[in-house]
Every structure is written in C-alpha cells, then in structure tokens.
Amino acid sequence: MKKEVSARSVAAEVLTRVERDHAFASAALDAEIARSPQLGPRDRALATELAYGSLRVRRWLEGRLGRHATRPIEKLDPRVRVQLVLAAFQLFFLERVPKFAAVSEAVSAVRTSKGPEVAAFANAILRKLAREAEAEAAGLDLEAVAVESAPPWLFETLSRSLGPAGARAYLRSALMPPPNGICVHNASARDHWLNRLRDAAPQAEFEAGTISPHAIRARSAGRLHTLPGYAEGAWTLQEEGSQLVALALGARPGDAVLDACAGRGNKTAILAGAVGPTGAVDAADLHPAKLVRLRTELTRLGLTPRATYAVDWSVGAGEVAGTYDRILVDAPCSGTGTLGRRPDLYIRRAPDDLARLTALQVAILSRTVDRLKPGGRLVYVVCSVLREEGEEVVERLLAARPEMEPTPFEGEPAARLATEVQAGDTKLRLLPHKHGTDGYFLASLVKRAATC
C-alpha cells in the first residue's frame, strides 16, 4: 500500500532522521520535500513549521509527555516518540490545528506502525495533554519553555558566556524562526530591490537590515531564489550577520585577501566585490566539493576567485604559498549562535565537542597567521556565542603567537557596532535578541610589522 504523504508525515520523517541518525534537519527536510512533489507551498511551509518548531521545544515537550507516560519517553521506539512530540507541539503551539485532529492523526500513525496496543497508550497520554494544553497554552512562560528545551550542559555553558539572563534571552529568541537574509551586492540598490521584492511577493514581509547595508530580511517569502533579482545575480541568499562578518575584514580595493575557511563562498563574494579588479581573493577549504560550488556561485555573480585551495589547516598550509594583506578565518565551530535556525543542534551537539573544536580553531588560526603579511589583518569569526570558542581561543592564539595583537575593526559597520556594544572594540559578539542576526563572535587582529 502506498503511504499517504502529508505535511505531518514529512515532518515526522525529518524528526526521526534527526533523532535516529543525527541528520541535519535542513538536509533531511530538503530531501523529504523533494521526495514529495505532491505537496503544495502551504503544506511545505506547514511541514517546515512542524519539524523545526518541534525541534525547538522537543525537550520541553518530552518532559510534558513524560508526566503522563507509564514508561520513560526516551525508551519508546523513536517513531512513536516522534508522533507524540509532533502532536504535543500541535496541542501547545499550533492553534490552527484542532486539538482532536492533532491527537487522532498521531494515534492513527502509531496504530499503523505499531499496532492497537501502542496506539491506545499514545491516545491515553495525548488526551490528558490535550486537556492541559486547553487550559495552559495561552499563558505559557516561553522563556521557561526555551530554557527547559536546551540540554542543561548547554544552558550552563551559555550562562557562563552571556550571563544567566543573557542565556535565557538568547534561548527565548531561538524559539522564533529567524528571518531569511538577502544580500544585495550593490548596497546603494537595496531600496530598489526592496520595492521589487515587495511587489513580486506581497504576501511576504521584507525589511531593510540594520546591521549590514546590503541586507534585506525576508519572512514568509517561500522559495526566495524564484524572486526577481536572484537569477540576474543582483542579490544572493545570505544571513545578515554573515554579511557583517565579511564586511568586518575591511578589505579595500587592491588588497590580496585569503578566505581561509571559505566553504561554498558565502562570504567570498563580498570580499571579491570589495577588493575589485585590482585586488585578488583566494579561497581555501577542507572540502574540494565546496570549492567547486564556490566557483559556480561566484561565476553566477560575475566574480572570480584568483585561486581555490583544498587545505587541511590542522596539518599544514597545503599549496597556499603566498602571503596576504587580509585573512578571514570563518572557523568550524559548535554553531551555538544559530540555534534558532538549526534547532537540530540541541540533539547533535555534546559537551565534549567543545574541546575538539577549540583545539581545531587554534590550529587553523596558527597556520593561517603564517600566511599573513607583516602589518596584515586577520578577522577570526565563529557562529558561536560561547567564550570557549571566542575570547578563550583568541587568548590561546595570542599566547602562542606573540606577533599578533588585537586591533580595532576597520570595516565600518563592525567598527561602529563594536564601539557601541562593548568597551573594547577589537571583539564583537552579535546576538539574535540584540541585533536580529544569528549569533557570532568576531575578533580583529593585526600582525606586528617586523622591527629591526
């Protein structure tokens, strides 16, 4: 019998894959949606809301389900647990799905996969939860929900970095889907594209970003790449904080720049635009496949990197032989600044990841410093808000490489923000609840010119 596909069944498959295989939610969702061409735009949006929404509050939902279960929730078959979590999410957070429908859809999915006995167990729990949701949903303390949704080790680690109130505010902000970012290449054309996008998708919300002069924030806009301007290369999809990161390097016309952990080139395009035809941008990354994507994307935008290098900075500089005026090190990290966008991190991250990642960050930084000209600048960035991957990594680098010293940012938006938000202007932490961007830590460093 062919399985019926619905927004709910797609979300259930995504949650199962994230839980069971530690899959990336975005990749799992893209794959499931691609396998379900019969879903229209509304159902695709609902599947996304169900999958991401449940992941954002999964621990809290499991806690509530656990109060009524006769056996531990974590011991249940993952497919049953996922059905219960999805129904609980609908009961507490999705007003537009009637409560009886949420319960009966979950119970019927459990009956199909596990039989009537387990279905009766699911039914008993969900009926009790439906009564609680009826009484409580409107008055939930969302900050408490957010804190209980994070694993305790993560809340403690965030509290050490942001203070307990900061950690609570950050987690509360991560309950909301963040906007999608658009980067208009020619910043002076931003208003033009804002108007064009509003005309093309009146149901969506577009607003100018406040941190990056290139940024437009988009909500409820569906598939952005189908809108005017994308195919012509007038804009790309790039989160606003990520734009600021590239601008923070302060690359000038004529500079030789290395994008040391360039990935698919999200930031390389801004760097290539800044150095212009008289400068050069080289891009490096561990994964050659990402560099192929980078070349394709830059070509689409009418830009070209001078060279791309597949390099593992943890072992050496590979074929990167030259030296550079400016280097951007957008290092691999815990991603804890992106919890709103990647709630699967609540499942995929573990406390011991930090020691491994910080050792890697220090190793990458140390090797890239060798490729910096004396007097040259390096911006270190992680999409993490944790001190361990931020201030502490910089301290470790400065201890190992005394020729490096902190220096104020040169990129105008980052320099302005740094002096506004903290006393020292050589480091900057972007926070979703303060800046409306993903969370990042940035540090600006210079290599002392040799003295005789």
Ligand X SMILES: C[S@@+](CC[C@H](N)C(=O)[O-])C[C@H]1O[C@@H](n2cnc3c(N)ncnc32)[C@H](O)[C@@H]1O
Among 32, 282, 285, 438, binds ligand X (CB under 6 A): 285
Identified binder of ligand X from the candidate list 206, 313, 324, 440, rule CB under 6 A: 313
Sign of CA dihedral 62, 63, 68, 73: positive
Give me the catalytic one of 183, 261, 333, 383.
Answer: 383
Q: How far is the CB of 83 from ligand X (least distance, A)?
A: 34
Per-residue tokens: 373: 């000209």
Find the DSSP H helices in 150-189. Answer: 152-173
Cβ-Cβ contacts under 8 Å for 295 (sequence gap 6 or more): 265, 304, 305, 308
CB 293 to ligand X: min, Å: 10
The DSSP symbol for 223 reads -
Residue type, position 436, single letter: G
Which parts are annotated binding residues for S-adenosyl-L-methionine?
Answer: 285, 312, 330
User: Is-contact 158 386, C-beta < 8 A?
Assistant: yes
Identified binder of ligand X from the candidate list 262, 303, 354, 379, rule CB under 6 A: 262
Q: How far apart are CA 84 and CA 305, in angstroms?
A: 49
The answer to whether 162 and 77 are in contact (CB under 8 A) is no
383 is catalytic: yes
Nearest residue (CB) to ligand X, 131 versus 287: 287
Q: Which residue is nearest to ligand X (CB)?
A: 263
Q: Where are the alpha helices (DSSP H) in 174-213?
A: 190-200
261 binds ligand X (CB under 6 A): yes
Question: Quick one: 104 or 314, whose CB is closer to ligand X?
Answer: 314
Q: How many Å apart are CA 126 and CA 101, to the nearest integer?
A: 11
- Single out the residue of 194, 234, 286, 317 in contact with ligand X (rule: CB under 6 A): 286
Subset of residues 220 to 259 that bind ligand X, contact rule: CB under 6 A? 242
Stretch that binds ligand X, among 45-53, 92-100, 109-117, 310-318 (CB under 6 A): 310-318
- Binding site: residue ranges? 285, 312, 330
Q: Does 314 bind ligand X (CB under 6 A)?
A: yes
- Other beta carbons within 10 angstroms of residue 33's beta carbon come to 17
Q: How far is the CB of 370 from ligand X (least distance, A)?
A: 14
Write the CB contacts of 5 (distance below 8 Å, at least 6 apart in sequence): 36, 38, 39
Tokens of 65: 């389900």
Smallest gap from residue 421 Cβ to ligand X (A): 22
Q: Which stretch binds ligand X (CB under 6 A): 35-43, 122-130, 311-319, 387-395?
A: 311-319
The residue among 170, 212, 222 whose CA lies nearest residue 46 is 222
Does the CA dihedral 405-408-410-411 come out positive or negative? positive
- Map the footprint of ligand X across residues 151-210, applying CB under 6 A: none
Query: Closest approach of Cβ 216 to ligand X, in Å?
Result: 18
Site for ligand X in 330-389 (CB under 6 A): 330, 332, 364, 383
Write down the residue that tokens 């609902």 correspond to.
Answer: 46
Minimal distance, residue 379 CB to ligand X, in Å: 12
Q: Give the H or E element holding residue 129.
A: helix 116-136
The residue range among 150-158, 285-293, 319-327, 436-444 that interacts with ligand X, by the rule CB under 6 A, is: 285-293
Q: At closest approach, how far in Å is the CB of 239 from ligand X?
A: 9
Tokens of 59: 């621990």
Residue with tokens 């270190």: 380
Between 133 and 357, name the residue whose CB sits nearer to ligand X: 357
In angstroms, rounded to a whole number, what is the distance separating the alpha carbons of residues 329 and 368?
8
- Closer residue to ligand X (CB): 149 or 236: 236
Is 13 a binder of ligand X (CB under 6 A)?
no
Measured from the CB atom, is 107 or 184 closer to ligand X?
184
Q: Which residues are catalytic?
A: 383
Which residues of this chain interact with ligand X, rule CB under 6 A? Answer: 242, 261-264, 266-267, 285-287, 290, 311-314, 330, 332, 364, 383
